[in-house]
Structure 1
Amino acid sequence: MLQLTEAEYRKRFDGFNITDCSILKKNHYYFISRDITESEKAGPTAEATVTKRMSWFIPNQQEGDRLKHMRFAGYGTLEIGPSFAGEERMLCVSVEGLVTATGGGEPSEDEDAIPKSINGPRRGAIRRLRTVGENLYVVGGSHTVCVRKGKNNWESLCLNLPTPTAADANDVDRSDNMAFTDIDGFSAEDLYVIAGAGRVWHFNGEKWSAVAFPSNMDVYSICCAGDGYVYIGAQSGSVFRGRDNEWTLLVREMLTLPFKDIVWHAGKVWLTSDYGLWNLIDGKLVEADLPSSDIKVCAGNLSVRDGEMLMAGTHGAAVHDGKEWKLIFHRLQFP
């Protein structure tokens, strides 16, 4: 049975909101969640006071063993993503670069923090994890880009990206324009990263080049899709499509929230925010065809691997196998 029982929900998710999700492999689903009560009390500079959990759900195991979690206290924002660089592990990385590895039949363990220096691998705060092929990439502030090469082994890809100056650090706009929010790629030799007000960079396997992007809209999410195009989610739900230095504003929207995740799955581009799930059909943004409101309210985060797409957010989680949706849980099932 894929759906959680009430006892499972109460033990692992009750009182917590999901903020990230990821798939390690088929039927191995991972989630990051935050304590709701603590988050309501914490201000924007007190994220470390909010307890987090990394939960994992393996539905084909016996009830009692199939859903577990780890507790994180004193950590800032957490992001997760899988690595297959000589391993099969789910990595949880904090905004400060603290690293925990789990899954793959090995014990969970804290690793060394990602080293911080002007040359990388970490220059600033961690903002995003993304797996391209077998490689797990990490991006963040001050033009941080690195790739995991194994346990406690992070290779800097900061390379020729401009080094932040004191003036950059003291200017909010300049700092934002150097804070990478997402990364994706067609291969290790064809990567794109985005930041701030329309800042896009391309990596060819040797060096980074600034992309001639036609807008200064704030950009939030990116997808190197199976149709050969790159899709970039900008402010208010606008979407750009292109590659290299040729870009088109495909969709101009005035939504309340930008898209947090954009992925390619089952031959389509999927886009999500806390307010819903959409597809791009013939260049137009269309609300996804979902079987019920129970699935729709699970919007917020997307992850794709092994033919599955996991969607999880404030109100629950669901998975799409390429043909149909299956609910994992919906918070209002358990009032």
Structure 2
Amino acid sequence: MIYITKEHWNKHIKDYIFTGCAIRDKNIVYFCLRKDLPYEEASRLWDSEIPTMFLCIYLDTPNDPIDYAKWVGFDGSKVGVCLKPIEQGLLVSRGNDGKTDCMGSGIGWELEKIMPGVTAITNNIKCINGYAYFVGGGRDIYKRIDIGKWLPIKMGLPDGEVNSDMGFRDLDGFSEQDMYAVGGEGDVWHYNGEMWIPCGFPSNEQLSAVLCAPDGYVYIGGEGGSLWRGREFQWEKLYHGGSTILLNQLRWFEDKVWACDDYRLQCWDGNDMVRPMDGDKNVIASGHMDVRDGILVVANSYRVDLYDGTSWHKIVRPYRSEE
């Protein structure tokens, strides 16, 4: 069974591709989508000229499961959620001001500006202790402390020009007083609630994802899909990846680390990265994932899958004209 019907798909999703997902709770999932344009047409446009859709799927209301907003002018958008001060989905654009659309817990929210008058290099939106954190290149970290109010968290971070060997792509935390930010070429920092401290990471490989796991370790996804484990100043490489791309996300589900990139969804089994199983079959999924409230969601260009710890569910599939 596919949750989104052909009618829903034709009306809202048909001409778009999924580029990100974020779970608010087990019944509400937000997505970022971009207009599915032919390469020749897209190559003649600025990224901000390609239409963006901010989509919400309500899994507990199958008769009316979709809410959405469409935008032109959003560039390289990232989707995330916050649970405080209210529960919402967030869509954040790259570029001037870091403009942000908010959805949920009411209607008529105004666009917010994370960095007024400044160019935002938007790489991620993460939810830690219920609050949304903006993660940007150049080591920009901002916390959404209230509706429309974003506070820079930069004590200890040096000012300087943005370059390829520094800058954050991801953030996670055991708490708001124990967070890790990673990116660049071995650019790893720890926040202790007062200031950021460099971790002296033992590699200059590109880093793209971080997970502060319930087992007490910090896991970092590196160049080629490699996996590191440690804390503060002690790190070990668990897995030497052979991929040509970076991981999009690391998440914790079913007491293990899950890793997702544009080609594969995998799990760390303690010795190797392996595909998850659905009974006696490998789960073939890729793209972007999120975990919260007992579910795991994976979205690639044209499909969305959900795993509840027992079964895999088809949420979105593309329909052929004859279906």
Q: Structure 1: where are the runs of 5+ without partners? A: 170-174
- 1:320 matched residue in structure 2: 307
In the TM superposition, 1:184-195 aligns within 5 A as: 184-195=172-183
Distance 1:294 1:240, change over 3 A: closer
Q: Is the 8 A contact 1:98 1:112 kept in 2?
A: yes
Q: Is the 8 A contact 1:100 1:108 kept in 2?
A: no
Deviation at 1:334, TM superposition (A): 6.3
CA distance in 2 between counterparts of 1:37 and 1:292 reads 37
CA RMSD, 1 decimal: 2.2
Deviation at 1:301, TM superposition (A): 0.7
SS of 1:110's equivalent in the other structure is coil
SS of 1:55's equivalent in the other structure is strand
Deviation at 1:110, TM superposition (A): 2.8
Deviation at 1:332, TM superposition (A): 5.8
CA distance in 1 between counterparts of 2:279 and 2:122 reads 36
Distance 1:332 1:113, change over 3 A: same
- 1:59 matched residue in structure 2: 59
> Does 1:274 find its partner at 2:262?
yes
> Does 1:260 find its partner at 2:256?
no
Distance 1:333 1:130, change over 3 A: farther
> Does 1:311 find its partner at 2:298?
yes
Pick the structure with more strand per residue. 2
Q: Is the 8 A contact 1:279 1:285 kept in 2?
A: yes
CA distance in 2 between counterparts of 1:177 and 1:233 reads 16
CA distance in 1 between counterparts of 2:306 and 2:321 reads 19
CA distance in 2 between counterparts of 1:51 and 1:123 reads 20
Q: State which drifts further: 219-228 or 324-333.
A: 324-333
In the TM superposition, 1:25-174 aligns within 5 A as: 25-37=25-37, 41-43=41-43, 46-63=46-63, 65-96=64-95, 97-104=98-105, 106-116=106-116, 124-164=120-160, 168-169=161-162
Cα distance per residue 1:246-271 (max 9 Å; x no partner): 10111002113221111001211110
Letter in structure 2 aligned against 1:103: G
Letter in structure 2 aligned against 1:248: E
> Does 1:208 find its partner at 2:196?
yes
CA distance in 2 between counterparts of 1:293 and 1:334 reads 29
SS of 1:37's equivalent in the other structure is coil
Letter in structure 2 aligned against 1:304: V
Q: Is the 8 A contact 1:294 1:330 kept in 2?
A: no
Deviation at 1:21, TM superposition (A): 0.2
Distance 1:323 1:334, change over 3 A: farther
Q: Is the 8 A contact 1:39 1:47 kept in 2?
A: no
Pick the structure with more helix per residue. 1
Distance 1:32 1:38, change over 3 A: farther
Letter in structure 1 aligned against 2:216: G
CA distance in 2 between counterparts of 1:202 and 1:50 reads 36
Q: Is the 8 A contact 1:275 1:300 kept in 2?
A: yes
Deviation at 1:177, TM superposition (A): 2.9
Deviation at 1:41, TM superposition (A): 2.6
Q: Is the 8 A contact 2:80 2:91 kept in 1?
A: yes
Cα distance per residue 1:198-245 (max 9 Å; x no partner): 110000000000002111110011111121111111111111111111
Distance 1:294 1:68, change over 3 A: farther
Q: How many residues align?
A: 320
CA distance in 2 between counterparts of 1:278 and 1:72 reads 33
CA distance in 1 between counterparts of 2:22 and 2:120 reads 23
